[in-house]
């Protein structure tokens, strides 16, 4: 099929029309419920989001994540530029490995959370930075500005890739039918160039579901063929198309933050309980260093609100922004909430005053549209996959 990410269908044309991925026709033929997500028209679910969720936990699900933003950083000083621009230690990243990191403002506020892959495919330093769809332009602009004094090229590769993810315990078996790549040797948070179903792909063992799985970066013109090949290879294993709705409940059960909900420019990584991504030990200044050093001290001496887990005793579902209450006082707020298909009860991630954030704290509730529903405080994540 043609590269639809470059040439949207005529009826969707226009400056404000949503962008379509290379798999748009596939989603429509499957009867997907579509939703606007960061300017993209994306599949929310194909039938039941609960069934899709459970399929990923027990078998496998296939996601279209082509809305994610890829930025390539190459050149002799690519590592130095990224060490300056990001809070992580990118220079220490081995070729073929990936790292979860963040890009912060000078004041320490989180601009986005990122995955950085070190590729070095042409013998020179080369990194692929994957940003959230909603922040891709911000990250591209910031990286471009922050790299100005380095010998690097920052390239917008958003149109160069479609991204498919196969997630779930059966994903290695499914993918192994379509590639000679050494999947057994591919560690979690690693990526290698290879061929899948006859098309060139960056095969990465990453994901956002709490399960084992792979993300496949391919040229958009190959996306539909790869999708069909994966569905055929996974048919007997129970592979199902999976939408953004179950992706959200999967990541919530796995305790993973989502930009715009758990992570914002108003919080530093330390406020979000993710101070470990900030690598003060790396050499030299990086954007946000001074503010983050102060934030780290604050988090140590006077713990702010903490990101914690809440599990409902009843059936009413907490939503982002709902107050967390204890003893008649507001002690926090929900950042994400949903019914958990795995636990069979509603769950929430919430920022809660340190005094009420410890697992087992009694008397905590969520104000659900005027009625206080009892919730159990638990440690994140809600779900860990069996090893």
Partner 1 sequence: MSNPQQLRYSKEHEWLSTADDGVSTVGITEFAANALGDVVYAQLPAVGDTVTAGETCGELESTKSVSDLYSPVTGEVTEANQDVVDDPSLVNSAPFEGGWLFKVRVAEEPKDLLSADEYTEFSGN
Binding region for substrate: 215
Within the chain, strands assigned E span 19-20, 33-37, 40-45, 60-64, 69-74, 98-104, 110-118, 126-131, 153-156, 162-167, 191-196, 199-204, 213-218, 239-241, 306-312, 323-326, 329-340, 345-352, 364-368, 371-378
Site string for partner 1, 215-254 (x = CB under 8 A): ------------------------------x---x-----
The token duo for 107 is 């004041």
Question: Does residue 265 bind partner 1 (CB under 8 A)?
Answer: no
Stretch of 48-56, 115-123, 138-146, 155-163 contacting partner 1, by CB under 8 A:
48-56
Cβ–Cβ < 8 Å for 58, 342? no
In sign, the C-alpha dihedral spanning 78, 81, 82, 88 is positive
Please state whether beta strands 40-45 and 110-118 pair in parallel, antiparallel, or not at all (unpaired).
Answer: unpaired
Question: Does residue 50 bind partner 1 (CB under 8 A)?
Answer: yes
User: Residue 164: beta bridge partners?
Assistant: 64, 216
Question: Does residue 369 bind partner 1 (CB under 8 A)?
Answer: yes
Distance of closest approach, residue 351 Cβ to partner 1, in angstroms: 21
Residue stretches of the annotated binding site: 215
Residue from 338, 349, 350, 357 that binds partner 1 (CB under 8 A)?
338
Residue from 27, 45, 57, 118 that binds partner 1 (CB under 8 A)?
45
Distance of closest approach, residue 339 Cβ to partner 1, in angstroms: 4
CB-nearer residue toward partner 1: 40 or 46:
46
Stretch of 41-49, 263-271, 327-335, 375-383 contacting partner 1, by CB under 8 A:
41-49
CB atoms < 10 A from the CB of 216, how many? 29
CB-nearer residue toward partner 1: 288 or 346:
346
Q: How far apart are CA 325 and CA 302, in angstroms?
A: 21
Question: Does residue 49 bind partner 1 (CB under 8 A)?
Answer: yes
Cβ–Cβ < 8 Å for 320, 360? no
Binding site for partner 1 (CB under 8 A): 33, 44-45, 48-50, 245, 249, 315-317, 319, 338-339, 346, 369
């Amino acid at each position: 099929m043609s590269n639809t990410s470059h040439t949207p269908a005529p009826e969707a044309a226009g400056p404000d029309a949503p962008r379509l991925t290379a798999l748009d026709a596939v989603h429509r033929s499957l009867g997907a419920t579509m939703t606007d997500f960061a300017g993209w028209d994306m599949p929310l679910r194909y039938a039941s989001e609960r069934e899709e969720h459970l399929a990923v936990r027990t078998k496998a699900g296939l996601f279209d994540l082509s809305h994610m933003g890829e930025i390539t950083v190459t050149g002799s000083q690519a590592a130095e530029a990224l060490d300056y621009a990001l809070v992580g230690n990118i220079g220490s990243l081995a070729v073929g490995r990936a790292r979860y990191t963040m890009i912060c403002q000078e004041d320490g506020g989180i601009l986005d959370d990122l995955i950085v892959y070190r590729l070095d495919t042409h013998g020179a330093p080369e990194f692929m930075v994957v940003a959230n769809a909603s922040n891709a332009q911000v990250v591209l602009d910031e990286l471009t500005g922050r790299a100005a004094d380095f010998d690097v090229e920052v390239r917008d590769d958003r149109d160069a890739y479609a991204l498919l993810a196969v997630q779930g315990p059966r994903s290695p078996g499914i993918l192994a039918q379509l590639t000679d790549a050494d999947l057994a040797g591919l560690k979690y948070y690693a990526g290698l160039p290879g061929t899948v179903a006859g098309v060139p792909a960056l095969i990465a063992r990453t994901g956002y579901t709490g399960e084992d799985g792979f993300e496949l970066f391919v040229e958009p013109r190959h996306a539909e063929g790869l999708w069909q090949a994966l569905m055929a290879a996974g048919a007997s294993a129970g592979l199902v198309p999976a939408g953004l709705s179950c992706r959200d409940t999967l990541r919530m059960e796995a305790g993973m933050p989502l930009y715009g909900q758990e992570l914002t420019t108003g919080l530093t990584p330390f406020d979000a309980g993710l101070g470990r991504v900030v690598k003060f030990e790396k050499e030299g200044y990086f954007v946000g260093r001074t503010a983050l050093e102060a934030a780290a001290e604050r988090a140590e001496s006077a713990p702010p609100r903490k990101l914690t887990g809440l599990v409902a005793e009843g059936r009413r579902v907490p939503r982002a922004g709902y107050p967390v209450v204890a003893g008649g006082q507001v002690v926090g707020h929900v950042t994400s909430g949903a019914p958990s298909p795995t636990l069979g009860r509603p769950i929430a991630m919430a920022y809660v005053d340190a005094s009420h954030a410890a697992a087992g704290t009694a008397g905590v509730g969520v104000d659900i549209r005027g009625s206080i529903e009892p919730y159990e405080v638990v440690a994140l994540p809600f779900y860990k996959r069996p090893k």
